[in-house]
Amino acid sequence: MCGTARYVSIATHNGYEQSRRDDLESISYILLYFLRPNLPWMGLPGKNMTEKKENIRNMKISLPLE
């Protein structure tokens, strides 16, 4: 994965090649971080980095866009 798990797109978490669409999704996560003190997936537990990335991916998928 290229980038920080906190801000990468769902497609990047799934292993797809990154595109401009993913850049826009990452920018939206950064803008949300500026508006709020934290993102919903910050501080998720995990035994190792792989498990933390998987937990972040699952949280991003489960959140509604609204």
State pLDDT tens for residues 8-58: 998 888 888 888 999 999 999 999 999 988 888 988 888 998 899 999 999
What is the four-CA torsion angle of 31, 24, 40, 32, rounded to 10 degrees?
Answer: 10
What is the four-CA torsion angle of 6, 13, 62, 7, rounded to 10 degrees?
Answer: 20
- Domain membership flag for residue 4: no
Angle at 15 between CA 13 and CA 16, to 5 degrees: 110
Q: Which residues form the domain of 26?
A: 10-62
**In this predicted structure, what is the pLDDT of residue 1?**
61
Q: State the total domains in the chain.
A: 1
pTM of the model: 0.80
- Domain membership flag for residue 2: no
